[in-house]
Structure 1
Amino acid sequence: MSQRIEGRRSFLKGSIAAAAAAVAPAISSAEKTHAGSPGPATRPNIIIYHSDQFRWDFVGANGRNGSTNTPNIDALAARGKNFSHTVTNQPVCAPSRSVLFTSRYATETGVWHNGLALDKSLPTLATELHKAGYSANYIGKWHLALENPKIGGSPGPVKLEDRGGFVDLWEVANAIENTSHPYEGTIWDRDNQPIAFKDEYRVDFLTDRAERFLRQKQEKPFLLVISQLEPHQQNDAHRPVAPNGVAKRYVNSTVPEDLRALPGTWQDQLPDYYGCIEAIDASVGRVRRILEEEHLADNTIFVFMSDHGCHFMTRNQEYKRSTHNSSIRVPLIIDGPGFRGSQQIPELVGIIDIAPTLLEAAGVPVPDSWKGRSLLSLVNDPEARQNWPNQQLIQISESMTGRALRTKDWTYCVADLTGNTKEPAAASYHEYQFYDQRADPHELVNLAGRKEYRAKADELREQLKKLLTAAGEPEPEIVPARLYP
């Protein structure tokens, strides 16, 4: 099936008020006149297209990489809202996903490192939309159930109670990187029966499953998550794997400036990473075309995002789990009702803000327990943009126990220097990394311990403490850096 977008639909530019006026209780199936055609009073459908380990600067619309081939994602940005300064609040797969779906910090979700299960008591995006009449559907990688078989966990099938409120279509592997390879593998359906694929690229296989769902008659407004593994590395190969023959087209492509000065795996792995990005973009284009053909596009909010970035072992001994932009900056593009009209929004936002944004856009109440802020006010309200806090809390686990404050101008990171990574938080941290985002956006000069920056470090330290207590953590001791690294 061709993956090229066939033509473009001209979208009206609507205000938030106009979008809100279109939000009303879901209609019955009797009101539908086409398999997928929305009636006059339906809530918007929501698709979250989640690409794992996708760097923000590999989106062509972000203008930082001349070798990236992302025409379909760029077209999405040209139609909708590009939140160009988005960060993850936990730069590793499972904790980041827990933040996305609960709008709580990873230390509150039960998933503060990989392999843990999501706290079943928490309201999620799926539970709240389902209560409002949505079907809740998921395809691909989950990573929010226990993974240790010795204590009842698995990288494959996921128990119903561990699905975070996704109670309808379910075609998932808990950790798909452990149950598949790029051209073969298995996911499991709602009844935990296997769905195998072979001789088809994994991205295309999961897109096939999404097409199968979208071509069906929808009795309700739907939430659909399409969760791809690529461009994440294939774990047992220790590298990303592009579709056959594609990586060779990207030999000698652009090397991001934060990588080129540092040793790592990028010299060998960037061509495959570029090839995976191309495959993801083609999949996005295919899904968008299906929405057009099924008359769903006008009433579907489409979100393109990632859980974290990739630094190719330049900052620690793996691919993420650091406070650097290459780990924490992610793409976030939203198109559809309430988000139409090309706009780049530069305010600093977090993954924690996505779920409340989508509930507000759907006219569904946001739980009081959620910690994120809706981004809808940034779309059309200049005053809201002026008053936006522009700071995000980053929690780091596994590589170290660390915390960071990210503002538009600064990254201030503290770490537990004892090396203990067995606890979700520490009572005492030391200043560890400090970057000036204005003068050093590629984070090559660590300012921690520089006396001329002491006053700014003290200011950021107090801000970080306030964010930590707001996230439910005890206020820690933070020891100033004494030596310039």
Structure 2
Amino acid sequence: MKNNYPLLSVCLLALPFHCYAQKKANKTKPNILFICVDDLRRELGAYGSIVKTPNIDRLASQGSLFFQHYVQVPTSGASRASMLTGHFPKDKSDLSNEACRTRLSDKPEGEIPETMFHHLRRNGYYTVGIGKISHYVDGCLYGYEAPKTDKPELPYSWDEMLFDAGKWGNGWNAFFGYADGSNRQSHKKQVKPYECADVADEGYPDGLTANLAVKKIKELTTKNEPFCLAVGFFKPHLPFTSPKKYWDMYEESSIPISPMPDIPEGCDPISLHESAEFKSYQLGDEMPFIEKRVSDDYARKLRHAYFACVSYMDAQVGKVLDALEASGKMDNTIIILWGDHGWHLGDLRVWGKHTLHETSLSSALVIKAPGCKQGIKNKRIVNSIDIYPTLMELCKIPLPAGLDGLSFATLLNKPNDKKWIDAAYSYYRNCITLRTPEYRFTRYNKKGEIITELYQYDEDRIERKNIAKEKPDVVQKLLPLWEQGVRFDF
């Protein structure tokens, strides 16, 4: 019999070198801080808003701020599912908040990773999720009024999935929570859509999430392996609840109402809705309707509440960024701040998301990466599904086959790259929309009747008039590009 001991000796001698090489490779890999923010439209100081967001503004000054980032679906669960998987919706089930549950939960682990966090985990990253990253706010599958379970929404993405529910008891109660520990469910929706309470940051859930993230950063930065920490903040999602000190940052009477508070000329009612989510807070001062918008005073109050929530969230982001800075790992960390979709603040008479209009589909996106330029105000059109391949390129990790998204890593240093195609597709119910630099081209299936809308944009990106009938040549020019986005029977 052939003696294999010499070979074994060589292998054993090689082990220390292999371990050293692995440790060296791990040390050179960038860490990742991924911050998800619920319902965050492009309402940051860095975008020119009056909203006070000094921490995110500072982050934007250190990296790239994207002015034309578009989500694929204007509802949280489906938007997050597309972003996490790098895929356009494949059928109508992918337009639901239950998209991750339908496609990923209860499935055996396969060759194709379930999400980008799963792919990072397979490639040497220690992955931690805190708060709402996918749809379920603490990563576990259970209904708004059901007991908490330990059944994961994403079975293979996380080494740790954490959440501090505090006085609210579980994730959904915290998500819809008020300062006294109650929630929308316990009050049977007999609540206001806003609250100003004289409490500390920890008086609402996002303060607890920030504290948990700070603690976890201190732990992760002592490890000898690259980490990916994803942190999900609730605000500014309804209810618009935040500590009084953030309300005090604004003079309500000086807050402007929407620059487009009425329905665009020629806009079909099928493209709008009656703000049902907002109306589920049934003690609101007024109720909005497509036929009649709320008073300007109430619109200012609601916008005040939303702005206060954004400033509150920004302060929590600041705590996390400060902890990363203090750890000494800031310079070797990719930081992404992403809003899962926009939100109508009375724009087009709507209070909520769930439309294929600009305000609902555009959201905040900030990326800071080692070796990339600072202070880039990027006007290129990017999709949420492009984040997955971009992150993998920045980490030098090969992509799994079949992603729909495209890496825009080049745009972080070369924002004028001529090879980049400026086009975004979004989907909802029986509708598909295409965004190009100048136009939004949307088609709705209204019980078999195809409704076409075309909006042309100036710098203010306000939809004032459907010009589809006035510009049939533009419709015909855009139609083939729009058809490229049809992936199922709409």
Whether the aligned pair in 2 keeps the contact of 1:102 and 1:109 (CA below 8 Å) is no
* Structure 1, unpaired ranges of 5+: 1-25, 33-38, 187-196, 235-239, 419-427, 477-485
Matched, 1:334 2:363: no
Relative to 1, partners in 2 of residues 1:130 and 1:292: Cα closer, same or farther, differing over 3 Å? same
Of 457, 466, 471, which aligns to 1:446? 466
Identity, in percent, stands at: 24
2-side partners of 1:382 and 1:439: how far apart? 18
**Counterpart residue number, 1:139:** 130
CA offset digits 1:136-175 (Å, max 9, x no partner): 111112454699x9xx843474655522533222124896
**Counterpart residue number, 1:204:** 207
**Counterpart residue number, 1:154:** 143
**Counterpart residue number, 1:320:** 353
SS at match of 1:389: coil
Matched, 1:473 2:456: no
Matched, 1:171 2:156: no
Relative to 1, partners in 2 of residues 1:158 and 1:453: Cα closer, same or farther, differing over 3 Å? farther
**Counterpart residue number, 2:72:** 89
Matched, 1:59 2:74: no
**Counterpart residue number, 1:20:** none
Q: Which one has the largest radius of gyration?
A: 2
Residue identity opposite 2:40 in structure 1: F
Residue identity opposite 2:440 in structure 1: T
2-side partners of 1:402 and 1:181: how far apart? 33
Q: CA deviation at 1:223?
A: 1.3
CA offset digits 1:198-245 (Å, max 9, x no partner): 9622221110110110011334211111111100112xxxxx122235
**Counterpart residue number, 2:11:** none
* Structure 2, unpaired ranges of 5+: 1-17, 105-109, 183-199, 264-292
Q: CA deviation at 1:461?
A: 2.1
Number of equivalenced pairs:
405
Q: CA deviation at 1:462?
A: 2.0
Whether the aligned pair in 2 keeps the contact of 1:126 and 1:164 (CA below 8 Å) is no
Of 416, 435, 439, which aligns to 2:455? 435
Matched, 1:221 2:226: yes
Relative to 1, partners in 2 of residues 1:285 and 1:354: Cα closer, same or farther, differing over 3 Å? same
2-side partners of 1:164 and 1:315: how far apart? 40
2-side partners of 1:180 and 1:413: how far apart? 33
Whether the aligned pair in 2 keeps the contact of 1:143 and 1:175 (CA below 8 Å) is no
Q: CA deviation at 1:256?
A: 5.8
SS at match of 1:82: strand
2-side partners of 1:118 and 1:344: how far apart? 37
2-side partners of 1:430 and 1:109: how far apart? 18
Cα RMSD of the aligned pairs, angstroms, is 3.2
Q: Select the structure with the greater relative contact order (CA < 8 A; seq sep ≥ 6).
A: 2
SS at match of 1:347: strand
Q: CA deviation at 1:261?
A: 4.8
CA offset digits 1:176-207 (Å, max 9, x no partner): 46755143669xxxxxxxxxx99622221110
CA offset digits 1:414-458 (Å, max 9, x no partner): 11212xxxxxxxxx561343210138721121223x2x3111112
Where does 1:222-301 land on structure 2 (aligned, <5 Å)? 222-234=227-239, 240-250=240-250, 251-255=252-256, 257-261=258-262, 263-264=293-294, 266-301=299-334
2-side partners of 1:31 and 1:382: how far apart? 34
Whether the aligned pair in 1 keeps the contact of 2:261 and 2:347 (CA below 8 Å) is no
Residue identity opposite 1:154 in structure 2: G
1-side partners of 2:257 and 2:119: how far apart? 40
2-side partners of 1:224 and 1:146: how far apart? 16
Relative to 1, partners in 2 of residues 1:158 and 1:369: Cα closer, same or farther, differing over 3 Å? farther
**Counterpart residue number, 2:343:** 310
Q: CA deviation at 1:249?
A: 3.9
2-side partners of 1:271 and 1:324: how far apart? 23
2-side partners of 1:415 and 1:153: how far apart? 33
Whether the aligned pair in 2 keeps the contact of 1:138 and 1:171 (CA below 8 Å) is yes
* Superposition TM-score, scaled by structure 1 size: 0.75
Q: CA deviation at 1:325?
A: 1.8
Where does 1:77-116 land on structure 2 (aligned, <5 Å)? 77-107=60-90, 111-116=94-99
Whether the aligned pair in 2 keeps the contact of 1:89 and 1:351 (CA below 8 Å) is yes
